[in-house]
Each structure stands twice: as structure tokens, then as C-alpha cells.
Amino acid sequence: MLAKKIVAAALAVGMVFSASTSVVSFSNLKASAEAGKTGTLYGDANCDGVVDVYDLVAAKRNITSTLTEQGKINIDFNGNGVDSSDILQIKKYLLGVVDTLTGPQKEYDGEYNIPEISIESKDIPNLESFKFVAKMGAGINLGNTLDAVSDSAPAGEANLFLETAWCGVKTTKEIIDSITNQGYKTIRIPVSWHNHVDADFNIHVEWLNRVQEVVDYAIDNNMYVIINIHHDNEYDYMYPSYAHLENSKKYVSKIWSQVAERFKDYDEHLIFETLNEPRLQYTSFEWVYSSSSDECREAADCINQYNQAALDAIRAAGGNNANRYVMVPAYAGKAEAAMANEFKLPEDSATDKLILSVHAYIPYNYAMNAPEAPGSTTEFTDADKAEIDNVMETLYVMFISKNIPVVIGEYGARNKNVDGKDYTQGRVDYAANYVASARARGISCVWWDNNAFESRSGEAFGLLHRASNTWTFDAIAYATVKYGDSSKTKFVTPWYDPDSSTGDEATILPDGTIMFPIEIGEKVILGVELNSGVAQLGGALTFSVSLYGTNYWVAYQWSATSSGNIEIDMRVPNMAINSNIPDDGTGSNAVTDETVLSEIGKLVMKGNSTSIQYWWACDTGWNNLTEPFDQYGRIVSASAGK
């Protein structure tokens, strides 16, 4: 560290180094071996196997003299020959301005087309956490490996066999090298722990050793590594309900205390993710979050406490954990749960070191739904792209713009090639558009690779065939890496002022969802703007709620005859439909019982989000106008009343 500071100071004042300069070793710095299989170590101009100040000297001399051919390859970062920009990159690396040195991405020459996408970066807060997320670049999961679990595994044993129980392949350094050489800068290594602990939640040393060994494979390649508590969402370990609260907090704290202690000397390349997808497993709410549900609200409170317990344990372990970046999820890893009022980021003794963890397999029918399931689609469409952009913009508005960095720790589109039909090109387009849209909003993404490829046998998200260590879907991998590049991210002075919030003013998202910062309560104030020549605009605020096991679609109608504010009484809905009863066109599924309507209203008032719908519009002659009705005016503001 002292040597690095000496050279940094020297470079800062423009000191010239010569062959007689005393040796300053940078052996603790590892350049990225993006093309390691051909002997390339980027930044190593003099080919001595280490990136240090002598490489800067050699690179400068190349302006007037000649390096070896390998030396030229090693410092040609942009692929257009050695020039002053390459010298600048080495200087930035030695100063710590850039974290890795990589060469130009190899041109894809396969059978699929990598789309050309240009999305200008939105303003991203110039905070260290956002710059850190940008450096993470494109990522991939080592799924179905250290996260595999089994009910039959002997309690208290190391159970090392579980690593291959699901994917059939033991992870090797060569597998991680292939991931690095593909251009990935981040790897998420999900880890489940409960099959490897004793009754007091002490982790078996052999399992912890193996986890560390795999982590080191990636750390040695200068990758960013994410490890977590993954498939431990069970009653006896971590479950988000008050009945399991104390035991779950003990489990989470005990696991993270041991893990953080083991890795306390690792630098910021190692990232801890407190939990995976904490949720009410075995219930109807497993993959659905509703602020109007008492069960969900209880679960959210528990998850807040588990995140806090995990963070406290990590920070208390000392070493580099005091300022380590930590990712935290909301209920089930869902963005909509993170936007709910119930979710709170934990209190942190460190500054600007928390990252929101989100999972988003969107659009569902294209990305996640089984190939032959109802509603499943195989073609990537403009509507799919629009949905992705919509979600990314929502994340930007709700989090990025408010100084909360986001990493999408899981995403992907499963293989749906069936009956000889190849739909891979759509998945390539999906990957490119998904990552480009996220990166333009300051978000880095980590593809879910579970080493599964057979479209009919499960969730087939595999890209790298680990048994043969070859890329089955290299075009998809190429697309994710290409658009995961963060070099064009536009960092600006943060503009969000949390003290400027009025307290009850809502955020209207691009898809028409209104997010209230407090419970909706008995009334909502809508600000409406009507276009010239429009006499009336109307629609509804809609909700989906569950009452005593029955699902309802609920609407509160609104109508405006001029621009200005209108007030909606939220105590009883104008309309409620029993979603459990098929619509036969006769209105038999409409709710008429006033008691039920009142109970539904109480649930709605406890929530904090609604969807805007536009149902009709009339001109000044009271002629009905045609859809889409929001072209004639819009709801531009909303606030929750008392």
C-alpha cells in the first residue's frame, strides 16, 4: 500500500521513471487476463508478468522505440494500435482511477446478430457507490452450485457433495477463467449454508474452506464477487414471520459473523448480499407482495430486521468489513416490494456502502414462463423492449435519482428452443436491450446461469456449459458484456434533497403506477391537466387485493371537467370484481355486498400504490373521443389525504 502511494504521488507530479529508478513492486495488483489463454496480460508492456511503473516507462518509450509484439498487444487497450490513450490507461490503473485493464472485446463472428443499440446515459449521481457499481460491469451467476440444498443431507456435516448435486459439475479455476476471458467483471456465487451447520449454526470448516476456494478463483482474476445467504428461506433457519423472528435473526447474524470474519481481509472486490429472495414460502404470497396484506407487511418488517442484523454482524467483524459494499433485497428481491413504504434500508455505520439488490425476470411470459405454458412467448417484441425500459426507468426514478444504487443480481431469458426451432436470436436481442437499458440508468446486471440448457426440463438459463467449459450460447454472453460497458456513464452532482419532500406527495411512474410515501388513507388528491378542447376526462384508480383468500380487482372512478385538483373518497370502492370467478359477461363476479366492499376499502387504504387507468374523454361538443384517452390529458400529481 505504501509503494502504491509513493508511485501515485510521483505520477501525480509527473515524475519521470528511468531504468535506474529503484524497484517499486505492484505484485499485489492483478491486471485482468481477458485473453489469458493466449498469454496476454493487459498492461504488461515489458512482458515481465506484472503490471508496474516500468510498464508505464516502456509504454512511453514505445512512442520513439519499439516494444516486442506481445508487449504491444498487452497495452493496446482499444485495439487501434499503441497511442497516448493507452499510456494514459496504464497511468490511471497505477493511480487506482481504473480498477482493471482489459483489451478490446473480441468481435463476435458466430451465426447470430448482435444488435447495435445506442442509449444515452441518464444523469447518474456522482457518488462512490455509483462509480463502484459501474466498475462491476457485466456479471454472471454461478448458479445451482454452492447454493444447492437437500433435505436428506446429514445434519452438521460438511456435505461437500452438494456442490455437484444440482448441476453435476465441480467448479474449477478453468471455469472461472472462461468467465473472465469472456469479459465478465462480476460473478455472483450464491451460497446456501443450512446444510453445512450444526445445531448452533456453526458452519462446518470444510464447507467454508470450499466457499473461500471458489471465491479465490474469481478474486485472483480481479473479478468482483458477490456471495450471499441463498436457499435458506426455511422455518428452522430464516423465515420472514414474527413466529420465526428471533431464531431467524440469530441464524442470519451467526452466518454473517462467521463469513465476514473469514473474509475480513478481502478488499472491495468481495461484496456481501445479506439475503437472496426472502419471502413467505409455501403461501399464496410467495411471489406476490401486497402492502394491503397483513402477512406481507409483517414479512417486510422481518426482512428489514434481518437485513439490519446481517449488516451489523458484517460491520462488527472488523477488517475491511467496516466499509465493505453490502447488497440488500426487499421481499422476494422484487422491485415493487422495495418501493413499498414498509421496506427500509438498514442503518449503516459506513457511508454510501449500501446497494439495493433486485431480481427482475421480465417480461415474465418471454423471460421466465415455461415454453409450453399458457401465455408463454418465444419472440422478443417491441412490447417486451418497452416493458424492460419501463422497469428500468421506474428503478431510476425511485432509487437511482434518490442516491440509492441498484444491482440486478438475477435476470435472464430461458432457452425455449423446442421441436427443432431456434429462438436464440430473440434471447440475444433481449440480453442486449436489457443490459443497455439498465446501464444507461446506472444499473449493473448479473445474468442467472444455472448450467441448465434443456428447454423442457426446467428453468434453462445456462450460457456456459461447465462440463465441457465451452459457451453454448456465446452470442448471449457477448451481448451482455458488450452492453455492460460503463465507460459512457454520465456522472453528475447529486441533485436529490431528501429534506425537500412534502411527505405526502406521490411519485407517478412511467407505467402509470402511483407510489405514495405514506398509507393512502381515506382520500387521494389528483392533479389533472386537460388539453385544449377537452371537456371531460375520466378513468379509475385500480388495485388488486386479497381478502380471506379471495382475490379482487378494485376500481375507484374519477372524472375531471377542467384542469386542477380532484378528490377521491377511498373508503369504499365504486367497483370490485371477484377474480376467482370467471367472467361470463353477466356481471356475476361483481361484488355487491356492502360489508365486503367496506373491508376491501380498508385494505386499499393501508396500501401505498395504485394504477391509473383512463376510460373516456369528451370534447367541448360532448362527443366521445377515441382511445388512447390519455392523449387528451393526464394525471400529473397525486397525494394521499388523511
Domain boundaries, the chain: 2-95, 123-485, 500-640
Identified catalytic residue from 194, 196, 230, 359: 230
What is the pLDDT confidence band of residue 616, given thresholds at 50, 70 and 90? very high
631 pLDDT higher than 60: yes
425 pLDDT higher than 70: yes
pLDDT > 90: what percent of the chain?
A: 76
114 pLDDT higher than 90: yes
Cell of 504: 405526502
459 catalytic per annotation: no
Identified catalytic residue from 34, 273, 336, 410: 410
Surface-to-core class of residue 484, CB atoms within 10 Å of its CB (0-12 exposed, 13-18 middle, 19+ buried): buried
pLDDT digits (tens, 9 = 90+) for 386-406: 999 999 999 999 999 999 999
% helix / strand / coil in the chain, to the nearest 5? 35, 20, 50
410 catalytic per annotation: yes
What is the pLDDT confidence band of residue 2, given thresholds at 50, 70 and 90? very low
Q: What DSSP state is assigned to residue 121?
A: P
Q: 72-81, 270-279, 405-414, 490-499 — which is least confidently predicted?
A: 72-81
- Which whole-number Å values give the CA distances from 311 to 128, 265, 325, 327, 629, in the listed order? 19, 17, 10, 9, 48
The stretches of 220-273 forming alpha helices (DSSP H) are 245-262
Tell me how long the chain is. Answer: 642
pLDDT digits (tens, 9 = 90+) for 447-488: 999 999 998 878 999 999 999 999 999 999 999 999 999 989
What is the pairing mode between strands 507-508 and 513-515?
A: antiparallel
The stretch 526-552 carries a mean pLDDT of 95
pLDDT at position 79, please? 63
**Between 84 and 570, whose confidence is greater?**
570
Distance CA 337, CA 330 (A): 6
Nearest in space to 162 (alpha carbons), one of 189, 204, 195: 195
DSSP string, 380-418: --HHHHHHHHHHHHHHHHHTGGGT--EEEEEE-------
Going 167 to 169 to 170 to 176, the CA torsion angle's sign is: negative
107 catalytic per annotation: no
Q: Output the CA torsion 52→53→59→64 (10° steps).
A: -150
262 pLDDT higher than 90: yes
Residue 16 three-state SS: coil
Distance CA 232, CA 194 (A): 6
Confirm if 190 and 142 have CB atoms less than 8 A apart.
yes
What is the pairing mode between strands 139-141 and 186-189?
A: parallel
443, amino acid identity? I
pLDDT at position 58, please? 76
Distance CA 618, CA 627 (A): 11
Q: What is the residue whose three cell numbers read 435473526?
A: 249
DSSP string, 226-240: EEE--S--STTT--S
pLDDT at position 18, please? 30
Burial 15-46 (b: 16+ CB within 10 A, else e): eebeeeeeebebeebbbbbbbeeeebbbbbbb
Distance CA 80, CA 83 (A): 8
Taking all residues of the chain, what is their mean pLDDT, rounded to a whole number?
Answer: 90
Cell of 210: 470450499
Identified catalytic residue from 277, 336, 387, 393: 277
CATH of 123-485, one of 3.40.30.10, 3.20.20.80, 3.30.70.1140, 1.10.1060.10: 3.20.20.80
434 pLDDT higher than 70: yes
Confirm if 313 and 250 have CB atoms less than 8 A apart.
no
Confirm if 614 and 628 have CB atoms less than 8 A apart.
yes
Distance CA 623, CA 534 (A): 10
Distance CA 433, CA 54 (A): 41
pLDDT digits (tens, 9 = 90+) for 330-377: 999 999 999 999 999 999 999 999 999 999 999 999 999 999 899 999
Beta-carbon contacts of residue 192 (< 8 Å; ≥ 6 apart): 146, 147, 148, 149, 162, 229, 230, 231, 232
Confirm if 597 and 575 have CB atoms less than 8 A apart.
no
**Which residues is 178 bridged to in the sheet?**
none
Confirm if 489 and 119 have CB atoms less than 8 A apart.
no
Nearest in space to 462 (alpha carbons), one of 426, 514, 424, 491: 424
21 pLDDT higher than 60: no
What is the pLDDT confidence band of residue 543, given thresholds at 50, 70 and 90? very high
pLDDT at position 65, please? 60
pLDDT at position 49, please? 76
- Which whole-number Å values give the CA distances from 131 to 135, 399, 405, 441, in the listed order? 6, 15, 9, 12
What is the pLDDT confidence band of residue 66, given thresholds at 50, 70 and 90? low
What crossing angle do the helices spanning 245-262 and 205-219 adopt, rounded to 10°? 60
pLDDT > 70: what percent of the chain?
A: 90
